[in-house]
């Protein structure tokens, strides 16, 4: 059953139960509307309209409800609100910061690392994160829509070294249950594939997306399935998210977290300790903490390497080893993620 959610706008307030698809369709895309909902004056975010033209705002009400009202520095708000800093030129920040395009083998299929490939299943997301490393990605040419799946499937079939398929995007969980089920079924027909990994923000942004049908598709698969959620702050994980994650955990789905280290959002030791503790209490293992990918428009989120390494030392002093994520950077052309202490 879909949950009851409060949807507020200029014209109405509704407490009706609505599906995750309806919640997604009612996501806020107007920065003025978002600031009005949160009781924040527009002058707190100068020139946000110009930044919105380059990379538009998108955020569902389920996520907005977790943002503290009247707080222009809320760590969840800063992840999704358009800001003037996005328009500033930044040296060594690029439109393809991790070399996705050079790794493209067929439309929507990236083969960077030994033994695994990544499918760009859709260009759509439930939320537009301002630090997104694919904010400039040419999705119209590169996403593996259903008509391109056959090319990707054929590539995977002919390379028996591939053991794992990673579903990415955009966000693969924006796809309907039926489309995901169809794709998983096609992949299951390839004998040498043993693992399925899904990277998604939806368990954090729109927890009602974790439907019984989705859970059944993943749990009934012959694959060893891993879902990597992308949570950056403990405030993103409330009872709603915990309940959704518990459905996946009870079904035997491995749950990992991949966060991005973001200035003014989670670069303090208390932020990281709280995130790791909250994740583990929700059944999720902190796996990666990524240094910011140098994508144009996101330089204001960057945390310097030395500061990041000092933060990791603090985390190691405060947390058990299994709650300390690996601090890494993805470097274009490298055969794996690079540990930060090797940079």
As annotated, the binding site for [4Fe-4S] cluster includes: 125, 129, 132
Gap between the Cα atoms of 310 and 308, Å rounded: 5
Kind and range of the H or E run holding 321: none
Long-range (24+ apart) CB contacts under 8 A made by 18-25 are 19/208, 20/206, 20/208, 20/209, 20/211, 21/176, 23/60, 23/61, 23/62, 23/206, 23/208, 24/60, 24/126, 24/174, 24/206
Binding residues: 125, 129, 132
Q: Quote the tokens at residue 169.
A: 């995007």
Q: Are 271 and 265 in contact (CB under 8 A)?
A: yes
Residue 166 φ/ψ, nearest 5 degrees = -110, 125
The side-by-side arrangement of strands in the sheet containing 338-339 is 104-106, 109-113, 116-120, 164-168, 195-200, 224-229, 254-260, 285-290, 326-329, 338-339
Is beta strand 254-260 parallel, antiparallel or unpaired with respect to 13-14? unpaired
Gap between the Cα atoms of 166 and 172, Å rounded: 10
Q: Quote the tokens at residue 83.
A: 């800001």
The residues, ordered by sequence, that sit 6+ positions from 314 with a Cβ below 8 Å of its Cβ are: 269
Helix (H, G, I), strand (E, B) or coil at 105: strand
Gap between the Cα atoms of 308 and 298, Å rounded: 17
Please name every residue paired with 312 in a beta bridge, in sequence order, or none if there are none.
none
| Positive/negative CA dihedral, 314, 315, 319, 322 | negative
Please name every residue paired with 117 in a beta bridge, in sequence order, or none if there are none.
165
């Amino acid at each position: 059953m879909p949950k009851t959610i409060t949807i507020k706008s200029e014209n109405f307030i509704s407490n009706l139960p609505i599906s995750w698809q309806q919640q997604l369709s009612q996501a806020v895309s107007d920065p003025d509307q978002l600031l009005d909902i949160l009781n924040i004056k527009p002058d707190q975010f100068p020139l946000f309209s110009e930044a919105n033209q380059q990379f538009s705002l998108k955020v569902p009400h389920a996520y907005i409800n977790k943002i503290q009202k009247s707080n222009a520095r809320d760590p969840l708000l800063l992840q999704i609100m358009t800001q003037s800093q996005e328009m500033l030129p930044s040296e060594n920040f690029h439109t393809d910061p991790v070399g996705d395009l050079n790794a493209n083998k067929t439309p929507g299929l990236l083969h960077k690392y030994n033994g695994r490939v990544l499918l760009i299943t859709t260009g759509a997301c439930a939320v537009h994160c301002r630090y997104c490393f694919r904010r400039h990605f040419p999705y119209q040419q590169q996403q593996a829509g259903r008509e391109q799946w056959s090319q990707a499937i054929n590539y995977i079939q002919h390379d028996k070294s591939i053991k794992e398929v990673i579903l990415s995007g955009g966000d693969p969980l924006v796809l309907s249950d039926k489309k995901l089920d169809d794709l998983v079924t096609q992949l299951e027909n390839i004998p040498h594939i043993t693992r399925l990994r899904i990277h998604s923000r939806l368990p954090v942004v729109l927890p009602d997306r974790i439907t019984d049908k989705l859970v059944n598709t993943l749990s009934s698969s012959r694959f060893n399935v891993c879902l990597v959620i992308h949570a950056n702050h403990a405030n993103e994980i409330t009872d709603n998210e915990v309940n959704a994650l518990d459905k996946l955990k009870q079904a035997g789905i491995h749950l990992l977290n991949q966060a991005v280290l973001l200035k003014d959002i989670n670069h303090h030791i208390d932020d990281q300790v709280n995130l790791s503790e909250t994740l583990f209490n929700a059944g999720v293992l902190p796996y990666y903490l990524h240094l910011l990918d140098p994508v144009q428009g996101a330089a204001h989120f960057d945390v310097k390497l030395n500061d990041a390494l000092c933060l990791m030392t603090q985390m190691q002093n405060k947390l058990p080893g299994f709650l300390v994520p690996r601090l890494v950077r993805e470097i274009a052309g490298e055969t794996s993620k690079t540990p930060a202490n090797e940079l």
